[in-house]
């Protein structure tokens, strides 16, 4: 009888361990991907954009590492302005970022916004590893096909897109990084959204490339953090933690009336002023 009880206990522990590993973020990533991403495929969105600030969008097509064809819009200003590469958040598609593109253009920059796999006109399906590869492919397009010097590229990551911008900055030269409503680390936001994930150690989460703190705790390009103080999706404490851990040069702009999705329309003047200063400093550095 005791032997049978011992076997049952061992079997129960083995099954619990099996399911514990099976549903860990690293192993069950396809399951969690379905919960993370909310893409809007074409023709969803607002694609009837003729121009923004008098500048017409150029369609940009390029391939990600797995061969899937991606789509973006490129708004070119004349002259030596920096080019902001926007890696957007987890919902909608690039056409929902018209307001963000307009803010960048009003602040004196050129802009490229693109869609990850599975979003808008881009082929494939989104995944955490995929969006990192897609960000690298967009950067490569700017360098090799749009002929933008690396020193004039400013990487902007919106919300979840902040891990993309940080990853590109960590592996390639650029003129600066803007974190808009950015994450301190993917693990932290995952645990905040799904508290049961706290039982998993860091090694059972996706790799360190999804931890923005690691990127900015070492030498990095100039960093601008912008966060709404009323953000109830990614709390401003994420940017506060990131700012406290990051090395110089760094700037933190808190927008007192902004939430998560209205950040470039509420307190827009303060955001624009911060961008103009950041871009002016970027132009000065690239001229040296």
Reply yes or no on whether the pLDDT at 26 is more than 60. Answer: yes
| Higher pLDDT, residue 25 or 75 | 75
- Rounded Cα distance between 134 and 131, Å, is 5
User: Which residues lie across from 41 on neighbouring strands?
Assistant: 120
pLDDT of residue 9: 73
User: pLDDT above 70 covers what percent of the chain?
Assistant: 90
**Average pLDDT of the chain?**
90
- Rounded to an integer, the average pLDDT of 205-227 is 90
pLDDT in tens, 183-213: 999 888 888 887 777 778 877 777 667 899 9
Q: Is the peptide bond between 43 and the residue preceding it cis, with omega within 30 degrees of 0?
A: yes
Q: What is the pTM of this model?
A: 0.91
User: Are 233 and 260 within 8 A, CB to CB?
Assistant: yes
| Higher pLDDT, residue 32 or 235 | 235
Kindly list the domain boundaries of the chain, sorted by start residue.
37-287
pLDDT of residue 264: 87
The edge-to-edge listing of strands for the beta sheet with 176-180 is 58-63, 69-75, 110-114, 83-87, 153-158, 176-180, 223-228, 250-255
- Rounded Cα distance between 152 and 138, Å, is 15
CATH code for the structural domain at 37-287? 3.40.50.1820
Q: For every residue of 111-180, which 3-state class applies, written as one string?
A: EEEECCCCCECCCCCCCHHHHHHHHHHHHHHHHHCCCCCHHHEEEEEECCHHHHHHHHHHHCCCCEEEEE
Concatenated DSSP letters of 216-266: HTSS-S-EEEEEETT-SSS-THHHHHHHHHPPSSEEEEEETT--STTTTTT
- Rounded Cα distance between 250 and 172, Å, is 19
- Rounded to an integer, the average pLDDT of 140-147 is 98
């Amino acid at each position: 009888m005791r032997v049978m009880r011992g076997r049952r206990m061992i079997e129960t522990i083995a099954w619990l361990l099996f399911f514990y590993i099976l549903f860990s973020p690293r192993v069950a990533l396809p399951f969690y991907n379905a919960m993370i991403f909310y893409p809007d495929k074409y023709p969803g969105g607002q694609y009837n954009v003729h121009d923004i600030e008098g500048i017409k969008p150029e369609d940009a097509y390029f391939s990600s590492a797995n061969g899937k064809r991606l789509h973006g819009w490129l708004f070119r200003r004349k002259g030596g302005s920096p080019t902001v590469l926007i890696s957007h958040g987890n919902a909608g598609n690039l056409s929902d970022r018209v307001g963000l593109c307009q803010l960048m253009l009003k602040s004196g920059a050129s802009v490229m916004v693109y869609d990850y796999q599975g979003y808008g006109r881009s082929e494939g399906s989104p995944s955490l590893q995929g969006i990192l590869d897609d960000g690298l492919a967009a950067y490569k397009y700017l360098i090799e096909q749009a002929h933008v010097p690396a020193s004039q590229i400013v990487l902007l990551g919106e919300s979840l897109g902040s891990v993309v911008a940080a990853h590109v900055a960590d592996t390639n030269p650029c003129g600066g990084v803007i974190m808009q409503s950015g994450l301190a680390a993917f693990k932290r936001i995952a645990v905040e959204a799904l508290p049961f994930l706290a039982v998993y150690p860091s090694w059972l989460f996706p790799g360190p490339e999804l931890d923005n703190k690691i990127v900015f705790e070492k030498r990095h390009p100039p960093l601008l953090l912008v966060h709404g103080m009323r953000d109830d999706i990614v709390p401003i404490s994420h940017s506060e933690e990131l700012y406290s851990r990051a090395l110089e040069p760094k700037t933190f702009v808190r927008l007192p009336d902004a939430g998560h999705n209205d950040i470039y329309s509420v307190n827009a003047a303060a955001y624009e002023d911060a961008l103009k200063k950041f871009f002016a400093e970027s132009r000065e550095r690239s001229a040296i």
